[in-house]
Amino acid sequence: MVERIVRAPSVERPVITRARSQRSIENDGRITRAAISVASKNGLDGLALSEVAKKAQLTTGALYGRFEDNEDLLVHLVTDEIAPKLKSFLDQAMHECRDLNNSTTLLNHLSLDTRNDPCVALGVESLVAAQRNDALAEILLPEVARWLDSYGINEEANPVDIARSAVTLALIIGTVMHRFVDDEFEQWPLALPTLARGIAGATSSSKSTDAYSYSSISADTGNAVRDALIMTAADIIAKVGYDRTTVARIARRSGLTTGSIYNVYTSKQDLIVDSIDTLLRRTRQESLDFESEGLNRKDLGFGFAAHFAAANIADRYQWHRFRHEAFIAARTNNVVRRTIRQVHRDEMTIAVDLFSIMDLPLELIQAITATSQALSLGFSLVIQLAPMATCGDYEAISESFYRELSGFVRS
């Protein structure tokens, strides 16, 4: 074996390391490919050394010689593979969103990369997981802060430019997350370029910010025990994720026995799905209420502005994390995916009836509704990643959206 001497910068004596064999380098590649495959199937929380070893056709000892535990493997995978590919994807998508003459490229990029490169989906998942995983937060969040600074979400930018950058990024991330539930949506070609033009055309707001009225997002099923369990499950999911939420922990937090929980629900998944269904319907109804108010005012921008304002409410950060975790779970859990998809379908049905008074084309109503779903998802995550984003002029973006939609309808 050939030896080489490397002098560590903080150590006086030379450190001797061995040159890595070709077989060791090849095994690294097998481990990386296997880890991405397992994470794509199970989610980042389901990344296990034993399953990766089996997938890579290596012994578990071979992996423990490289990684201390599952979390160490996760951190290395995100650092070396997922984060660089997510950054490349975001860089290109941000550029294409700002290039109004090339909307086809943007649509192809968002479609092909989210479908063909698992690191894009895993990258967005890692942004959510880093909100509750200290090891991921230490290595990922400072790096992401530098990305966002380079995109123009920083102290030097004016409020309109901060809003443009934050909403562009929210549109990209929210579209990726939305596709965890609805992979195919034929109105994206109408929605994305229209919104991109609205973002680009924003100028300083001509009116004072509206005072939006919000109520708490809470369960109101008529059953006190069920309501308590739904809210407790949502709070725990926001803190530890879907997979790590247990019935025992829900029981302890709610002051009930596991037996009493099983008197209401047949399984952990039954309870969690009820939480997702109940609370997502509550927030989607709030969205429809704001859009209805916008119609009454003859100002479709009002609904968008209300979404932006909602993401800025500090008391709702935990709620937003719960919703993000629900979408992350939907990527690998068919039951959760079907549950959220049905909530979206029901909202779409109500929206079509709501907007019928404006005689808008069906495809435009569908585009407005789906993009409001995606934008609220992405924007609430951007706010958590970049507190500076709260300084943006989102009334300006909302006014520009309204002008763009009005122009589309007239044409």
Q: pLDDT tens digits, residue range 235-286?
A: 999 999 999 999 999 999 988 888 889 989 999 999 999 999 999 988 888 8
Whole-number Cα distances in Å, 35 to 51, 57, 58, 140 = 8, 12, 12, 18
The whole-number average pLDDT for the span 350-356 is: 80
The 10s digit of each residue's pLDDT in 198-246 is 888 888 876 666 667 777 788 888 888 999 999 999 999 999 999 999 9
Work out the pLDDT band at 175, boundaries 50, 70, 90: confident
The whole-number average pLDDT for the span 168-188 is: 83
Q: Cα 328 from chain centroid?
A: 7
Phi, psi of 77 (to 5 degrees): -65, -45
Q: How far apart are the first and last CA of the chain?
A: 73
The 10s digit of each residue's pLDDT in 319-334 is 899 999 999 999 999 9
Q: What is the pLDDT of residue 42?
A: 95
Q: How far apart are CA 211 and CA 208, in angstroms?
A: 9
Number of residues that make up the chain: 411
Q: What is the pLDDT of residue 389?
A: 92
| Least-confidence region, from 22-26, 154-158, 397-401 | 22-26
DSSP secondary structure string, 2-24? Answer: -EEEE--TT-SS-EEEEPPPHHH
pTM for the model stands at 0.88
Judged on CB neighbours under 10 Å (0-12, 13-18, 19+), 188 is buried
The domains found in the chain, sorted by start residue, are 3-150 (1.10.357.10), 159-410 (1.10.357.10)
**Residue the block writes with tokens 């502005």:** 305
Residues contacting 322, CB < 8 A, separation 6+: 234, 235, 237, 238, 279
